[in-house]
Structure 1
Amino acid sequence: MRAKNADMTAGERQTHLAEEAVAAGLGFCAGAAIAYLFDPARGRSRRAKGRDKAAHARHELRDGLGVLSRDLTNRSRGSAAAVRYRVAGRSADDRILYERVRAELGRHVSHPHAVEVHVQDRHVTLTGAVLAAEEERARRAIRRIPGVKHVEGGWVVHDDAAESPRLQGPGRRREPVPELLQQQWSPTARFLAGAAAAGLLALPGGLPRPVAWAIRAAGALLAARVATNLPVRRLTGLNAGRHAVDITEGISIDAPVATVWALVSDYSVFPRFMPDVLEVRRSADGRTSHWTISGPAGTPIRFDATETGREEGREIAWQSAEGELIAHTGALRLAEQDDGGTRVQVRLAYNPVAGAAGHAVARLLGANPARKLRQDLMRLRSYAESRRQPVGSGGV
């Protein structure tokens, strides 16, 4: 064995050590999995839970493949119709051309109601009012419509909307957004992007190491985008503001709205039923509150929150102050139920470190914000139902 090790080159020794490390890691993971699944006390429930999750994953996969199949079919039909539109659409009559022009105006003009369209023998005349920043772009788009022979711009061009009463009011162009720039990707786009990600991950074979790592990083980022169907800014948390992760939870409480409102509107009582909330202090203006909560390993975390809206007895909305480590915003709404109880609905959006990817890692490590929110709502229910009567109103 020593002679064999002596005959190895430095590169071979490194490869051998890496293989041994991988084998040891796999062995450790296999042993941990066996110990976890066959634990005498909780192994049976864990295996049952694993079977349930596997069945759920199969159902999700089957449904996802069905959605992908239908989306591919519909998009193929749409592409064929678009080709027919470009090829055979030139024989359209004036009535059809009029509808096409009106539809195109809605994509390129912020006030399409201010424009009048006249079509005669496939010649389009545009009258009315239009902004100078939109005029040339709209004219070019209409000129590209199949069947249109000529476009005459008889409209009045204005540099500012204030120059014409017809251009008053809010306006918004409905410009088409490319598929890959949309917030949510279609199943077909995710499928094609996933194939591209797999190709990027498998591509860097004999490439220089920096180039190979860059390609692998791009492939991994694209794969994460496909898997989560979240924009990159929400996935990474960069420039995502307070909306990288959205959580919504609700609970029914067997107590009147007045009792629940008195609790949720007075943050100073939160430490009584929320063990992670250590202290809440109000500022002099009454709108800002200073929080101290228990973070990882019991480390205290301090942040400021400001009320952004309040409807007495019904709703409170808030957001964290600028510059906080974990930016967040949320709203809590109460609704009276038919049985006299209260329905509490909480919407929370926050941007953890590393965005949605950091949220996923936190869940793997056991720090699940959604589960903590559910637990806090259950504690609120127990505390409110034990009181039954209003405890007095307070403010943030």
Structure 2
Amino acid sequence: MAAPHDDAPITASKRTEKTAQAAENITEPKGSSLVGQSVTINRPRHELYAKWRDFSGFPNFMENIERVEMIDDVTSHWAVKGPGGSTIEWDAVVTEDQPDRLIAWSSAEGADVPNSGRVEFRDAGERGTIVSATILYDPPAGIIGKLIAKMFQREPALQARRDLRRFKQLMETGEIATSARTARALEEEAA
């Protein structure tokens, strides 16, 4: 029996016209490098959308986000860890918002890393919801910057996969699994 939807990210398609279509679906495209990731989360669309729409909560599950400050209903200021301990900052504007379906954004002019993208929420039947992120970005310093970011595990393709996995853990279990020892565990060991 065939599944009604393919939950693989559009950027994984071997058909180049589908990949090009993914970039065209972004409302105000900024960037030349395309990243796409999808994950199926066993929660209803409205819960996932509501959690995602609270951008200030991103540091709770996005490893490289230092902070997101809301300026108004559609504009936010982002601070993200960059390669070598640097911080990259920009303002972003929500360009499309369809409750329980999708959120799209584009960086404001003058961003350190021009970027844009969209996150879509689709029903997956009894399995929950398919969350798909499609991101366009221009790495600082071009291809060399992209290679450096990859070396330091700060490249958006790597981060998107990890962040969606952590979002899934948070939404399904209420916590994010980690192998890092917590301050509490260290205190208990010292006692």
Please confirm whether the aligned pair reaches a TM-score higher than 0.5, indicating the same fold.
Answer: yes
Gaps of 5+ in 2: 1-28, 175-191
- Counterpart CA distance in 1 for 2:81 and 2:148 is 19
Is 286-295 or 358-367 further displaced after alignment? 358-367
Q: What residue number does 1:336 align with?
A: 123
User: Which aligned pairs between 1:193-342 and structure 2 lie closer than 5 A?
Assistant: 242-284=30-72, 286-342=73-129
Tell me how far apart the structure 2 counterparts of residues 300 and 367 of structure 1 sit (CA, whole Å): 11
Contact 1:245 1:359 in 2 (8 A): no
CA distance in 2, matches of 1:363, 1:250: 20
Distance 1:296 1:362 in 2: 5
Aligned letter for 1:256?
Answer: P
The answer to which structure, 1 or 2, has the higher relative contact order (CA under 8 A, 6+ apart) is 2
The one-letter amino acid paired with 1:334 is: F
Report the residue type matching 2:116 in the other structure: T
Match of 1:351 in 2: 138
CA distance in 1, matches of 2:121, 2:35: 17
Determine helix, strand or coil for the equivalent of 1:289: strand
Pairwise CA distance, 1:366: 4.5
Query: For residue 172 of structure 2, what is the aligned residue in structure 1?
Result: 385
Please give the root-mean-square deviation of Cα atoms over the aligned residues, in Å: 2.3
Alpha-carbon distance between aligned partners in 1 of 2:119 and 2:96, rounded to the nearest angstrom? 10
Question: What whole-Å deviation, never above 9, does each CA across 1:257-276 have from its counterpart, x for those lacking one?
Answer: 12211111111111112232
User: How many residues are paired up?
Assistant: 148
The answer on whether the counterparts of 2:88 and 2:112 sit within 8 Å (CA) in structure 1 is: no
**Is the 1:290–1:305 contact (alpha carbons within 8 Å) kept by the matching residues of 2?**
yes
Displacement of 1:312 in angstroms is 0.7
Query: Structure 1 365/289 Cα, relative in aligned 2: closer, same or farther at 3 Å?
Result: closer
Distance change >3 Å, CA 357–CA 245, structure 1 → 2: farther
Q: How does 1:1-396 map to 2 (within 5 A)?
A: 242-284=30-72, 286-356=73-143, 358-364=145-151, 366-387=153-174
Structure 1 residue 360: Cα displacement: 4.0
> 1:294-316: CA deviations, max 9, x gaps?
22233332211001111111100
> Does the 8 Å contact 1:249/1:347 carry over to 2?
yes
Q: CA separation in 2, counterparts of 1:336 and 1:249?
A: 16
Equivalent residue of 1:326, what SS? coil
**Aligned partners of 1:380, 1:366: CA distance in 2, in Å?**
18
Q: Which has the larger radius of gyration?
A: 1
Which structure has the highest strand share of the two? 2
Partner of 1:237: none
Letter in 1 for 2:78: W
Question: Identity percentage over the alignment?
Answer: 32
The TM-score with structure 2 as length reference comes to: 0.70
CA distance in 2, matches of 1:298, 1:262: 31
CA deviation vs aligned residue, 1:157-213 (integer Å, no higher than 9, x gap): xxxxxxxxxxxxxxxxxxxxxxxxxxxxxxxxxxxxxxxxxxxxxxxxxxxxxxxxx
1:245 touches 1:355 (CA, 8 Å); kept in 2?
A: no
| AA aligned opposite 1:326 | V
SS of 2:125's partner is coil
